[in-house]
Structure 1
Amino acid sequence: MARGLEGKLEGQVLRTLAGASLAKCVAACRVVGGCKGFNRQRASGTCDLLATRLCENDILLLSSAEADWRYFDMQDASYPDPSHVFFNHSMCTERGMCSSACERGIDQSCTDNIQCQAATENSYCTAASPSSPGVCRCNTHYWKYNATLCIHQTSLDSSIWSWIFKKVVNNMCYVTFTARVKQDIWIHLGSYEDWHSGITQYYFILGGWGNTQSILDRDGTRMVTAATEGLCTNNYQNFTLYWCNGNIRVSLTGVSTFIAWDDPAPFTVNTLGFRMPYTDGHAHIFFPHNLVDPYFPTSVETGGRCAVLEGVE
């Protein structure tokens, strides 16, 4: 059972006991179905058994005007946990929000940064004050992987020599990205769930061969060779890659489509990979939000569609 907290919590009263000792209130709350806490008045022993707990609604606050009342939050014997981040924080000591139930995931309602940070590193609460709830968000330059994981936005620049792969989700079949390169953007679209296996793929080089040509291969066979002299300008340019129903298109904003081929036997694209030459010291690619999940060859599972690939100078 929680430490008693000065004040009274307004909530649904399941039952009222008169002249009850603290022990009797505790015992009654344990047997009354749905009881999660109680208010007890010292002088009279009046005990209101409650169907709600302080942390279940971020707009619930203890009324300091009820000076003769104390609120008790029913928990197991280990509550409050001295090792928990809330234990010595004002959210617990002053506002009674001590339970791990007060933790909040990304996009959930909150009143204090510590509620978000207890569940998710690199996060914060948008609340202006304890009486004005906000929501948990990932810090700047981090994005939501799932409700309890914020991951730093990946910088794809010239220091990254290996391929970086993303998983294609939600039947996505096109992506618009921003690139600043002098030459050579390499892209794979693969049929395989795991990019380590399988060879069915579309392979693109944009602005290759000294920034003079762009190509499309299908499983190692050249399908398109396009003359694209000066395609990459080393300024930020918006490219669109489209593969819906096997209709392969690559275009550049302000420039007509420069790669076009209709695959007579299209496959389902499950992974997208990209790379730039490590010798290009100022190359960056930016992928916008809500397009592809990051591909992690681990047990971590995604909780949403949001992903960012963002270069930082």
Structure 2
Amino acid sequence: MAKNPRILIPLTLLLILTILSPITAIPPETLTNAAETLQNSGYIAMSLTLNENANSLLSETTSATIFAPPDLIFAHFGQPSLSLVQYHFSPLIFSSSSLRSLITRTRIPTMLSDHYLVITSTSSSNHISINNVRVTDSPVFDDGILAVYGVENFFDPDFRVADAPAPNGGGNGCRKVNGGDHGAFHDAGNVLISRGYSVMASFLNLQLLGLGFEESQSQSQRNGLTIFAPVDEVMVDYSDRFPDYPSLFLRHVLPCKVSLNELVSIENGSVLSVGTFLNGFRVNVTRSGVTLKANEVNIVFPDMYYSDWLVIHGISDVISVLELEEDFDESDDDLSEPISPVGSSRGPDGDL
């Protein structure tokens, strides 16, 4: 018999939701703090470059990653062109762990149109490299909105490597993988809290046991998951909408794994459509140039948490329910079929 979903509402979750206010752009104090940290850390030239170009490059993004060459490189090559500066700014934020999770030849979008950075370090490397340029192991600055890493040299915009191999399984960019344990849920929740996604962390800890991840299951019986996590500030509108909590959580969870490597492999202008744990609701992932979106919501922190079977992407807003799709093509690959949420009239195998 299917379980009846129950959303527990801890006081801490209510407090988080009631004190938040929306963020629509990178706050000026973040840019100021980043520039000061760069200056104090020996990246004076990039500090000045950030001050000069922040308004033009970062005014329309809610997060970013900057790669900063040292002053000696600036002195050797002179003041870089605007296009070269754009190539060192990404509209996505990456923690050091998320950078390390990216496989070789994964492309990272940049502010320079139609140009990507490329991960060149391997899984056996003891450091991160992009475009064959070494990146500092930890960020020079990271406040959860903006991350800045030091790099040994300027990136070459003409750098090219062969495309990464197509992801295994499914062929549609959504992989079902086996494995998983509840320790990953706890670790993922801690990462979410540390990065400003505390509300989704609370939902994660309260709900995943109801999505078929019981303790009695072996790892081989558990499928992979992808979670789209809205940043705390955009969750404030849901603070008093308790009946919406099940839908709010379930529509942000996919029953398979879609990492950044799969996201950037989506052809420009095409759509990856995947069913969610909310019965009848699908997420359409699109790529337009360097912009990645899930149902028109920007993906701003890809691979915020990454494991063999679980990946979490930070997004800039809540994925809204406009219209549930009632009919599905029975011939669709099972990777894109929705899984009935806990408490629906269907069991895990579709039986009534």
- TM, length-normalised to structure 2: 0.21
Larger strand proportion of the pair: 1
Radius of gyration: which is bigger? 1
TM-score by length of 1: 0.22
